[in-house]
Structure 1
Amino acid sequence: MPDNQLNILFLGGAKRVSLAERLISAGKSLGKEVKIFSYELDKYVPIAGVGEVIIGLKWKDEQIYTHLTEIVNQYQIHIILPFVDPATLTASVLKEKLPNVFIPVSSIETCDIFFDKAKANQWFLGENFPVPHQDLSKFPLIAKPIKGSASQGIEKIENEAELTQFLASHQAEDYLIQGFIEGDEYTVDCYVDIEGEIMSIVPRKRLETISGEVSKSITEKDDLLIEFSAQILKKANFLGAITIQFLKDSTDAYIMEINPRLGGGVITSIEAGADIPLMILKDYLNIKNTKVTNWTNNLLMMRANREFFIQT
């Protein structure tokens, strides 16, 4: 392997083609040749168009850490990046097992809290961060699986009859039930470097989503959300890319969840000037990052389908 080659392993990065391309470009700017590998259950996924797919195990498989260690050694992996919630927890454990591999994720304890919406909500309350109410007599309500993602399994409850029906047909302990907030959805893309310093905070409004993932968003220099996010980042053992989700109504902002990983729409913030792929590579290479505050406001991102062709 050439001395200037960097091998990056995605965990569940099947569709993260744009991010892979940004990492490759960032590597070139540093004189490095980035090779992308992705740990997947299916070899026919879009990331195969820019990298190599490695067939892996399910995140709950008891052999997952042994297998990933073998993969790291076989492919001489330098950096590991998770892209789905269970992979983030896996990466945090792997970080303890593979100290010679750069895995920029938060601590096991932090990832465990934010992988579970009920635990996360208790953490928010303990830190006095505003969250939607949990008064089951005030409708409408929204029920979210405590370990769900991509808006799967979410149900809106309009009245007492619907609540009674929901509780009769679901395990209540598997859901976080909160007041439904009518407002704008915001995602804030953040990066905390290896020294624990906040390098970037970029809010973006979610204008359109498909299957829980943003398809249209716009950056917005919202001072309230920037300050709110900075306060949150100082309260836990965060590292690397952090994605914070808020709801804003006409008067208030509520924190909804934190994903201690790269978000699906982070490419918006990257294009706006918060070059998180470059920050990741600089952290690995022990090159001091520069805090980014002058990113482009009102930058609109719109997604379209893109085809990849692979000879099978």
Structure 2
Amino acid sequence: MADVQVNNGAKSSLNVLFLGGAKRVSFGNKLIAAGQRLGIDVKIYSYELEPEVPIALIGGVIIGRRWSAPDVLDHLHQVVGAYKIDVLLPFVDGAISIAGAYIATYGDVWSPVVSSGKADTLFDKVLSAREFEAAGLDIPATYTGGRPVFPLIAKPRRGSASKGIEIIEGINEFKKISKIADEYLIQTYYPEREEYTVDCYISHRGEILCISPRRRLEVVGGEVARTVTVDYPELTKASEEAIVKLGLRGAITLQYLRDLQTDRLMLMEINPRLGGGVVCSIHAGADIPGMILAEATGGVAEKADQIRPGTMICRYFEEAVFNV
């Protein structure tokens, strides 16, 4: 675990509001445990659309607005005041820009997020691919016109959790997608591939405190179900390059693929939030919950230097029961 230092004058309790953290019970428990180590009483709330969600097992559920609602920032501000919230943690793509916009507008809480403008760019796969290319980062070739070379992959430009992705094998499939091409990022598809996630944490001062690569072994509904930390120096170096060139801050999840035929490593996308499988990196020694709490209380968290490769998690279903 990272050596975390907390200011002596820091609060002895923190109220943390998850944004869309309905299923993040495991991470919530890790955050509470980190608080106990640091002498901080962590209370968890989650901003949701319905009360019957698993996070209710360990925290309070606050009924909120949709991320697209015109009054979402005003309502969130009311919630922050009513529940004396200290920290915002977004867990879904739509909540990232909301957290950034809230900080920029009100500034009365802390959150490990990029600016709302950067979040909007990264959420748009077409814009983010352009930014990655402009920064000189290696990505799959993007189709921009002319005769297509198959196979291709088409991803909804503002999609998430692997929803709506199409593999294009031939001209007939391509013609269907090309009619609405502006709604997709279309790139070369590599059928023989390995996929990797990299859990990162960058302090508000720009210090890279954690880079933890893990291989995605099984994905269910867009979320990793089995994953294992790996010792992959090339991936660590590529991730550090991306962080520095793009000026990233806070909790970041990078997605890479490796073409098994050429051994080429390519950046697919960046989610400026905690990933669902981040608990694997935490079990391997990346004390990201401690880093979050240290920064939230004005303290200092040193770089995690002993992240163990070969730590695997297998996620499973467990019931949260409600009487409705």
Bigger shift: residues 9-18 or 108-117: 108-117
1:270-309 matches, within 5 Å, as 270-309=282-321
- CA contact 2:135–2:246 (8 Å) conserved in 1: no
Which residue of structure 2 lines up, in the alignment, with residue 21 of structure 1?
Answer: 29
- CA contact 1:23–1:277 (8 Å) conserved in 2: yes
Query: Quick one: percent identity of the two aligned structures?
Result: 44
Which residue of structure 2 lines up, in the alignment, with residue 237 of structure 1?
Answer: 247
Q: 1:68 corresponds to which letter in structure 2?
A: L
- CA contact 2:218–2:225 (8 Å) conserved in 1: yes
How far, CA to CA, are the matches of 2:322 and 2:299 in structure 1? 37
Give yes or no for the alignment of 1:149 onto 2:160: yes
The runs of 4+ residues in structure 1 deviating greater than 4 Å are none
Which residue of structure 2 lines up, in the alignment, with residue 37 of structure 1?
Answer: 45
- CA contact 2:96–2:116 (8 Å) conserved in 1: no
1:100-139 matches, within 5 Å, as 100-135=108-143, 137-139=148-150
How far, CA to CA, are the matches of 1:56 and 1:31 in structure 2? 30
Give yes or no for the alignment of 1:176 onto 2:185: yes
Instruction: Kindly provide the CA deviation profile for residues 259-297 of structure 1, in whole angstroms up to 9, marking residues without a partner as x.
Output: 000011101001100011110000111221110121111
How far, CA to CA, are the matches of 2:113 and 2:177 in structure 1? 36
How far, CA to CA, are the matches of 2:166 and 2:111 in structure 1? 35
Q: Residue 238 of structure 1: CA displacement?
A: 1.9
1:178-217 matches, within 5 Å, as 178-182=187-191, 183-217=193-227
Aligned residues: 308
Which of 254, 257, 268 is residue 266 of structure 2 equivalent to?
Answer: 254
Q: 2:254 corresponds to which letter in structure 1?
A: I
Q: Residue 161 of structure 1: CA displacement?
A: 1.8
Q: 1:50 corresponds to which letter in structure 2?
A: I
What TM-score does the superposition give when structure 2 sets the normalisation length?
A: 0.93
Instruction: Kindly provide the CA deviation profile for residues 193-244 of structure 1, in whole angstroms up to 9, marking residues without a partner as x.
Output: 1211000000000000100100000000100110000011112232210000
Q: Residue 133 of structure 1: CA displacement?
A: 1.4
Partner SS, residue 300 of structure 2: coil
Which residue of structure 2 lines up, in the alignment, with residue 7 of structure 1?
Answer: 15
- CA contact 1:43–1:54 (8 Å) conserved in 2: yes
How far, CA to CA, are the matches of 1:287 and 1:123 in structure 2? 33
Partner SS, residue 305 of structure 1: coil
> Which fold has the larger relative contact order, with Cα–Cα distance below 8 Å and residues 6 or more apart in sequence?
2
Instruction: Kindly provide the CA deviation profile for residues 104-163 of structure 1, in whole angstroms up to 9, marking residues without a partner as x.
Output: 101122112101000000001101111111345210111000000000000011011211
Which residue of structure 1 lines up, in the alignment, with residue 100 of structure 2?
Answer: 92
Q: Residue 311 of structure 1: CA displacement?
A: 4.3
- CA contact 2:199–2:213 (8 Å) conserved in 1: yes
1:65-84 matches, within 5 Å, as 65-84=73-92
How far, CA to CA, are the matches of 2:80 and 2:142 in structure 1? 44
Which of 275, 281, 289 is residue 269 of structure 1 equivalent to?
Answer: 281
- CA contact 1:142–1:154 (8 Å) conserved in 2: yes
Partner SS, residue 298 of structure 1: coil
How far, CA to CA, are the matches of 2:116 and 2:130 in structure 1? 17
What TM-score does the superposition give when structure 1 sets the normalisation length?
A: 0.96
How far, CA to CA, are the matches of 1:11 and 1:81 in structure 2? 6
- CA contact 1:92–1:105 (8 Å) conserved in 2: yes
